[in-house]
Structure 1
């Protein structure tokens, strides 16, 4: 029977003519189910918890609503006339004016087996789960990328919580099965890019951490992987290694640790490294929270991209989508736990550590970074 697929985003051939995009498999499942219900209304009992909101096509959703709303006809009467079909059409047409009597009869002809209505309903619910998960992943990605709001981190974590609730709900709707992990190839990690301000803040952290190692002892919530620039991550490891070993920390001892790790090269001279860790400004915790905040937002965007890739792969079952997405979200939650430790107030039972307020921008080192720091980006 003829169908009317959406062509609003259809690609074009080289000659500029628009090609009609083939409908998704769920389109045919919706047609088959509606055909089964129009042919044998009693099959509505086989659709379980299916609602009009599960449908991808608006007209199909309107028809399903009409079928569920109107009393089912007697089988004998339904076999003799089309009165009930006419009522269904009249009920659905105000919400889907493109519907016609011929389309309803075409749906009946298209249905392979009315007794398979339950299977068609499962396909519709599975595709709705895929679309729902993709929508929430896109919201998470968009929120993580939008830093214009008053509190991007809180907004991102709210979206992550919403995504987690969706996963919990879907987990209860679809039974587990062997091979629960998605078969989608892992996405290629995208390198993080930072601004000049991000560069300055990471440099400020390294310098203040070198100047105030006692505060670094309390900053186990910050990891080398949170830094944008690999050189800065390695230097942070140098500082924290000295601190946790109980060694003396100053620019020279950091230089010595960096030398042992093979960081001193023609590209990064001893003079460059000394300059990098010798101009403190503000508090290590202040700069550390900024670094961690950016890492959390970047991780949220990566997780959202990963989940979106799972939903784009039609070979994944709902259970595989849930399992893979939960694992992806766990990566974000691990960083979120560290963020909570970084930003939680100090318990009243312990004396609060002195925490300096960040100095004005006149305090940080010059905006022109040492040559080696620039090369490390």
Structure 2
């Protein structure tokens, strides 16, 4: 028993019994039907109505020509349709007046099916693009999927808006490719070894863009040092790692940290950062589309929640995409040369504010040293980018 096939047969049977029901189904399109025979027959019925068929304009019993002409018109576009099947459709309709309800069932099935098809296409393009080293196709099909979600929402009569599902689907972790791991390791080495390199990526690269969570934590520590205007090298980075408890809780081992010493530290930070965020965009697209597919394949989920939950699942992809475009939408930014850079690094006011936020709440000031700020000042949360 297939409820969707029953609904498709019932809505067609209702229109064959009562052509006036087409006026209540303006929002239903032929491609919303699953079977090609049903698509062709519904398109033929709409065409006959548009051409002013006597069955539509006349009164009294519906003439047999309404059925035979519809079958003849549909037979021009599809094979296998017979007059006997059309009469079977008539018998499959319990009440012709229920055609709008049957139509909404057909539309609901079409929404699930269409979202699934485009999610699969985006998934395939994302994985293929990762092998080719490009994301343009992924971004294109992400736009297509967004449009696919907007059109059914309009037809269904709901306002499309991102809504988190009650149960958040966990992403399936995958091992990063060797090329991605190398790019991340080289980038961290460059950021540690070359003064000012963090300035080239800090505006658009985030810790979550790293496939390796441990490297993401190291980048977070580098971002915190940069935000506070403190010098960056292996020693200050190790100190920040210890302050955040990453050594004590086992997140980072001495061996993993020592890998930074093997980095050449003489590469283009901006180029490496773009490689990292490109990989992040692909992974995010795959994770988002897996969530959309799981939602679309849940037949118990109504079209409204499906559309809104799917839009929510695409939210992380939109966020990474915005930063990807920021990384490519302006001329390459280079760190100032040592001869022209300010000895104080970031602006003084920014450094002072950052140091005040990171100062202990009530630590006494050593003799002869300036107090970092009022003892009663509550520390503010660290930077939303890296804190």
TM interval, short-chain normalised: 0.7 to 0.9
1:229 shift after superposition: 1.4
Q: Tell me how far apart the structure 2 counterparts of residues 117 and 269 of structure 1 sit (CA, whole Å).
A: 66
**Structure 1 counterpart of 2:118:** 136
* Structure 1 residue ranges (4+ consecutive) displaced by more than 6 angstroms after TM superposition: 265-268
Local SS of the residue matching 1:313: coil
**Structure 2 counterpart of 1:6:** none
Deviations 1:312-366 (A, max 9, x none): 112222221221122122211111111122222239xxx86479xxxxxxxxxxx
**Structure 1 counterpart of 2:157:** 175
**Structure 1 counterpart of 2:62:** 78
**Structure 2 counterpart of 1:234:** 217
Q: Tell me how far apart the structure 2 counterparts of residues 183 and 261 of structure 1 sit (CA, whole Å).
A: 33
**Structure 1 counterpart of 2:15:** 37
Local SS of the residue matching 1:78: coil
1:211 shift after superposition: 1.1
Moved more, 107-116 or 165-174: 165-174
Task: State TM-score, norm by structure 2.
Answer: 0.76
**Structure 1 counterpart of 2:292:** 307
**Structure 2 counterpart of 1:161:** 143
Gaps of 5+ in 2: 338-387
**Structure 1 counterpart of 2:34:** 56
Question: CA contact under 8 A between 1:251 and 1:274: conserved in structure 2?
Answer: no
Among residues 186, 190, 201, which one is paired with 2:172 in the alignment? 190
Across the aligned residues of Structure 1 and Structure 2, the Cα RMSD in angstroms comes to 2.8
Task: State TM-score, norm by structure 1.
Answer: 0.78
Matches within 5 A, 1:1-377: 22-23=1-2, 25-70=3-48, 71-73=53-55, 74-76=58-60, 78=62, 82-147=64-129, 152-176=134-158, 181=163, 185-220=167-202, 221-264=204-247, 270=254, 273-277=257-261, 279=263, 280-346=265-331, 353=335
Gaps of 5+ in 1: 1-21, 356-377
Q: Tell me how far apart the structure 2 counterparts of residues 233 and 172 of structure 1 sit (CA, whole Å).
A: 41
Moved more, 291-300 or 91-100: 91-100
**Aligned residue pair count:** 328
**Structure 2 counterpart of 1:366:** none
1:193 shift after superposition: 1.3
Question: CA contact under 8 A between 1:62 and 1:96: conserved in structure 2?
Answer: yes
